[in-house]
Amino acid sequence: MAGDGRPVNLTDRRVRGALMLALVMLAAIVVPNAVGRTVSGTAVLGRIPAEPRVGQCLLQTPPEPGVAAGRSWSFRLGGCSGAHYGEVSEVLLDPASTGTGPATADQPTYSLKPCGDGSAYLGWSPPVKSSDAVRWRSIELTVITLNPTKLQVAFGQHWIVCVVTPSTEGASYTGSVRGALSTGRLPALFGQCLTTVAVLSATIDCAQAHRYEVFALADVSTAFRDQPALDSDCRAFVASATHLADLTAGGALRVAAVPFHFDATGNPRPGLSSNPPDMAVEAMCTIGVTGTRLLAGTLFGIGSGPLPWA
């Protein structure tokens, strides 16, 4: 209605003028945003991550142990100067890169040897020769595998990476485990220390007060009965890892192999097996204190230095 009560006539010149003005203002707002803005420049391909190298470090929390992570999981490898979560111990080629098998960006084919246990990267050179009855291995750690991202596969990278990480899942550390078992310089997080050597005791950080430290582990035949031989092997491991001239440190320490076995029902028992139907026998090579004073640091590479008493 007009102000004087008369109906509004849309053909009225004033009304048509107001409508046109509103349409012009609306076009001024909408059209530039609908068309978009022109940006100068040239499109270029982003940087493709280079192939991994042995010795690089994992710079973020790793996936769950045993999980092959790749195209759906982004990971960062780089230098080891700061805190990191693992180290590249092996880089294995995908057979597709040698023409022995097909691969696509979505589903590469990996028919290759699995990752090793990391012992070679740690510099594990056993001072005793393993036999069929006793097979020693280095300290516990976790080896995970990483695959190339989809972008890397699309640009011709076909590999699988083996990364050694601490057995403590998701923990970061500084330093390197490369060659540690030959140099004696082992990052503390890889040490295995115990408050007791009871069967299947849980390990703790060696920076915490403890009585024992583990230097090697063994799978032992159920028919094996020679405890002195295990102790002799253990002394060789401890001498190699600690560089102690006197393994007892003047009577303060004692070196011993501590075996335990699983009986036919799967229950763990201390000592070597005395019953051939037993399922398995394992042993820990340990060094422990003889008195009441506790240690609060690893003995790897201690040499002639003072013992790290708590």
Q: Which single residue is written with the structure tokens 């011709």?
A: 156
Query: What's the mean per-residue pLDDT of the chain?
Result: 80
- Please check the confidence at residue 183 and state whether its pLDDT lies above 70: yes
Q: Which single residue is written with the structure tokens 């999981």?
A: 73
Q: What is the mean pLDDT of residues 258-283?
A: 87
232-242 pLDDT tens trace: 999 999 999 99
Question: In terms of pTM, does the model score above 0.75?
Answer: no
- Please check the confidence at residue 140 and state whether its pLDDT lies above 70: yes
In this predicted structure, what is the pLDDT of residue 104? 45
Strands 159-165 and 192-194: unpaired
282 confidence band (pLDDT: 50, 70, 90): very high
Residue 109 backbone dihedrals phi, psi, to 5 degrees: -105, 125
* Displacement of CA 154 from its chain's centroid (Å): 26
* Displacement of CA 54 from its chain's centroid (Å): 14
What is the identity of the amino acid at 283?
A
Min mean pLDDT across 2-11, 157-166, 218-227, 236-245 is at 2-11
Q: Is 35 exposed, middle or buried, given 0-12, 13-18 or 19+ CB atoms closer than 10 A? A: exposed
- Please check the confidence at residue 21 and state whether its pLDDT lies above 80: no
- Please check the confidence at residue 145 and state whether its pLDDT lies above 90: no
Per-residue buried b or exposed e for 8-33, using 16+ beta carbons within 10 Å of the residue's own CB: eeeeeeeeeeeeeeeeeeeeeeeeee
Please give the Cα distance from 287 to 281 (Å, whole number): 20
| 12 compared with 285, residue with greater pLDDT | 285
Q: What is the mean pLDDT of residues 166-170?
A: 84
Q: What is the mean pLDDT of residues 57-81?
A: 73
| 156 compared with 220, residue with greater pLDDT | 220
- Please check the confidence at residue 51 and state whether its pLDDT lies above 60: yes
Q: What is the mean pLDDT of residues 29-58?
A: 69
Q: Is 202 exposed, middle or buried, given 0-12, 13-18 or 19+ CB atoms closer than 10 A? A: exposed
Determine how many CB atoms are found less than 10 A away from the CB of residue 140.
14
Determine how many CB atoms are found less than 10 A away from the CB of residue 211.
19
Q: What is the mean pLDDT of residues 287-306?
A: 95
219-231 pLDDT tens trace: 999 889 999 999 9
Q: What is the mean pLDDT of residues 46-57?
A: 84
- Please check the confidence at residue 7 and state whether its pLDDT lies above 60: no
Q: What is the mean pLDDT of residues 25-45?
A: 57
Q: Which of 146, 176, 170, 150 is nearest to 159 (CA)?
A: 146
Please give the Cα distance from 177 to 54 (Å, whole number): 12
In this predicted structure, what is the pLDDT of residue 106? 46
In this predicted structure, what is the pLDDT of residue 127? 87
Longest dimension (CA), the chain: 119
- Please check the confidence at residue 120 and state whether its pLDDT lies above 80: yes
Min mean pLDDT across 86-100, 150-164, 241-255 is at 86-100
In this predicted structure, what is the pLDDT of residue 111? 42
| 161 compared with 34, residue with greater pLDDT | 161
- Please check the confidence at residue 68 and state whether its pLDDT lies above 70: no
Q: Return contacts of 195-199, CB within 8 angstroms, 24+ apart.
A: 197/258, 197/284, 197/286, 197/288, 198/270, 199/260, 199/268, 199/269, 199/270
Q: Which of 285, 263, 258 is nearest to 274 (CA)?
A: 263
| 29 compared with 240, residue with greater pLDDT | 240
| 228 compared with 42, residue with greater pLDDT | 228
- Please check the confidence at residue 26 and state whether its pLDDT lies above 60: no
